[in-house]
Amino acid sequence: MTSRRKVKIVATVGPASDEAKVLQQLVNAGVNVFRMNFSHGTHAEHLRRYELIRNVEEQSGRPLGVLVDLQGPKLRLGELATGKLAIAPGDVLRLGLPEPDSSSDLIPLPHPEILEVLTAGSTLLIDDGRVRLRVISGDGKSITAEVVAGQELSSRKGINVPDVELPIPSMTEKDRADLAFVMEHIEADWVALSFVQRPQDVIELRELLGDKMAIMAKIEKPSALTHIDAILELVDGIMVARGDLGVELPPEQVPGVQKRLVQRCRECGIPVVVATHMMDSMVAAPVPTRAEASDVANAVYEGADAVMLSAETAAGNYPVAAVAMMSRIISEVEKDPHYLTLLESAAPQHEATTADAICAALREVSRVIGSSVTVTYTSSGFTSLRAARERPHSVLLSLTAAPAIARRLSIVWGTNCVLVDSYNEDTAFNHLVVQAREISVELGLASPGDFLTVSAGLPLGSPGRTNVLRIVEVR
């Protein structure tokens, strides 16, 4: 039920992994959270996969998180008259709203919202940056642009506009329909919001969700980096979505951005997932490249809460092997003394709150006495999040009576969630201490003579109140 591995694994479900047997194998290999990508598949397919996940969760005996990833706006070229067009640097092209005259040399760009904001000097990227155009002029309905790089244009290729904040919301009508379906039929734990540009994008989703699910903002636009502090105040976690981010930013800037985002999330005490192309070669090969192994390891060294597999588990030939390999890489890093040194050197400043004082003491006491387990009782997840922020050396055992909270915390660094009977302000804290000791021994995390550090908020059941620390010897 528990794992000594700290960094979590998110795996995308798809045609290669939507059977109960494969899902169970993925969990056995190390998956903590399953991602449901609503860019692909029907509602019926997603519902079937969700039901399989919950069945596997019941059989495995530990909480599994479900992350619903909304597609967001997809900006693409229209249909070219010839299907493809050969181009070369220096060529001048005209792009704009489709015209009825099929003989026109205009390349269809059916997005007036893009054409309205492009100005001379703006950059337009097509086909994941394989084609780069620089705008010469525009009139709101069409633009003239020079080819900076690229050899061919094809119909329906994706478009990125890196240096302009587009006047379009993150949520499309498709996203709203998908979200309505999820809220009615799927008890998801996280909703990932694509194409976040500004705080208002998150506010709109929060108004629809309320507190039913946690929000994870996907950081894939430079404009999101401009507003990152305001966005972090509104979300429950972020995903460093390096696919689009690596198109919209110069590639050499992405590693630094990733490191800064991981550190900012730790400072805020919210989980951060590093995603995209982590072990992409394992879609077709049974082992990753050495560069991919290093990429996963670096995300772990940086302090990420979780790393994610996309096509590797959704459509690849080796989904279970990809998870097993990722788990081995994580475990190897976590055995490295340099890993703990890095985590300690990047420790965030504590806020002047009782919760941070207790959690800081929790970590220090655990280190000094060498406790086997750090136990947190939590009703909202707050205590566990603040404890995980400290990156304790010992196993972090989170006990809660709320299944939804246990599942939500499955993406958080180090947390091992176990469901316990409900408790309230009338429950004696000594009862919880005894329970923590018994569960730790039962799970094989502690033995007679070991110490536990136990934290909770009194009165019990009061969300966001962490104010007690107890040292417990196992007898």
Quick one: what percent of the chain has pLDDT higher than 90? Answer: 79
CATH at residue 436: 3.40.1380.20
Provide the pairing of β-strand 451-456 with 468-473: antiparallel
| Cα–Cα distance for residue pair 273/437, rounded to 1 Å | 32
Do 146 and 269 belong to one domain? no
Query: Residue 405: how many CA atoms within 13 Å on its side-chain side?
Result: 22
Total Cβ atoms within 10 A of residue 475: 8
Domain closes at, from 129, 160, 191: 160
Is the same domain home to 328 and 364? no
Helices (H), 61-147: 112-117
Predicted TM-score (pTM) of the model is 0.93
* Same domain as 132, residue 94: yes
pLDDT in tens, 243-252: 899 999 999 9
Report the CATH number at residue 107.
2.40.33.10
In a domain, residue 105? The reply is: yes
* Kind and range of the H or E run holding 93: strand 92-96
Beta bridge partners of 395: 373
At 397, the amino acid letter reads L
In contact, 65 and 33? CB cutoff 8 Å: yes
In 3D space, the residue among 337, 312, 257, 300 whose CA is nearest the CA of residue 413 turns out to be 300
* Domain end position, chosen among 104, 125, 160: 160
Q: Residue 363: its pLDDT value, please? A: 83
The answer on 90 and 37 residing in a single domain is no
79 in any annotated domain: no
Structural element, H or E, at residue 58: helix 43-60
Q: Are residues 154 and 181 in the same domain?
A: no
For residue 3, tell me if it sits in a domain. no
**What total number of domains does the chain contain?**
3
User: Where does 233-309 have alpha helices with state H?
Assistant: 242-248, 254-268, 290-302
DSSP assignment of 326-394: HHHHHHHHHT-HHHHHHHHHTPPPPPSSHHHHHHHHHHHHHHHHT-SEEEEE-SSSHHHHHHHHT--SS
pLDDT at residue 180 greater than cutoff 70? yes
Q: Are residues 236 and 116 in the same domain?
A: no
Question: Do 408 and 449 belong to one domain?
Answer: yes
Cβ–Cβ under 8 Å, residues 24 and 342 = no
Confidence band, pLDDT 50/70/90 cuts, at residue 3:
confident
Do 62 and 190 fall into the same domain? yes
Torsion over CA of 264, 457, 60 and 373, rounded to 10 degrees? 80
Strand 395-400 to 415-419 pairing: parallel
How many angstroms separate the Cα of 144 from the Cα of each of 1, 87, 113, 118, 163?
Answer: 60, 14, 16, 10, 17
End-to-end CA distance of the chain: 23
The DSSP line for 316-328 is -S-HHHHHHHHHH
Q: What is the pLDDT of residues 40-66, one digit of tens each?
A: 999 999 999 999 999 999 999 999 999
248 and 197 inside one domain: yes
Residue 360's pLDDT band (cuts 50, 70, 90):
confident
In a domain, 253, yes or no: yes
Token pair recorded at residue 28 = 């056995």
Question: What is the rounded CA–CA span in Å between residue 142 and residue 347?
Answer: 51
Q: How many residues does the chain have?
A: 475
- Mean pLDDT, range 243-269, rounded to an integer: 95
Q: For residues 379 and 303, what is the distance between their CA atoms, to the nearest angstrom?
A: 25
What is the pLDDT, as a whole number, of residue 461? 66
Name the residue range of residue 361's domain: 354-473
427 and 302: one domain?
A: no
Task: Round to whole Å and give the CA distance between 318 and 174.
Answer: 31
**Alpha-carbon dihedral 196, 200, 201, 206, rounded to 10 degrees:** 130
Over the chain, what is the mean pLDDT?
Answer: 93
Tell me: do 28 and 65 sit in the same domain. Answer: yes
User: CA-to-CA distance for 417 and 402, rounded, in angstroms?
Assistant: 10
Within this chain, do residues 236 and 378 fall inside the same structural domain, yes or no?
no
Q: What letter does residue 194 receive in the DSSP assignment?
A: P
Distance CA 316, CA 279 (A): 11
Residue 281 pLDDT > 90, yes or no?
yes
CATH number at residue 312: 3.20.20.60
**CA-only gyration radius of the chain, Å:** 24
Half-sphere exposure of 120 (CA within 13 A, CB side): 2
1 within some domain: no
Q: Is residue 212 part of a domain?
A: yes
- Residues labelled as active-site residues: 35, 76, 218, 276
Last residue of a domain, one of 132, 160, 188: 160
Determine the number of helices (DSSP H) and then strands (DSSP E) in the chain.
17, 21
The tokens for 247 are: 């198109």
Q: 214 pLDDT exceeds 60?
A: yes
Tokens 């192309």, residue located: 277
Is 295 within a domain? yes
Euclidean distance between CA atoms 402 and 381, whole angstroms: 9
Instruction: Provide the pLDDT confidence category of residue 464 given band limits of 50, 70 and 90.
Output: low
**Rounded mean pLDDT, 424-440:** 82
Q: Report if residue 360 sits inside a domain.
A: yes
Other Cβ atoms within 10 Å of 15 Cβ, number: 12
164-173, 175-184, 194-203: lowest mean pLDDT where?
Answer: 164-173
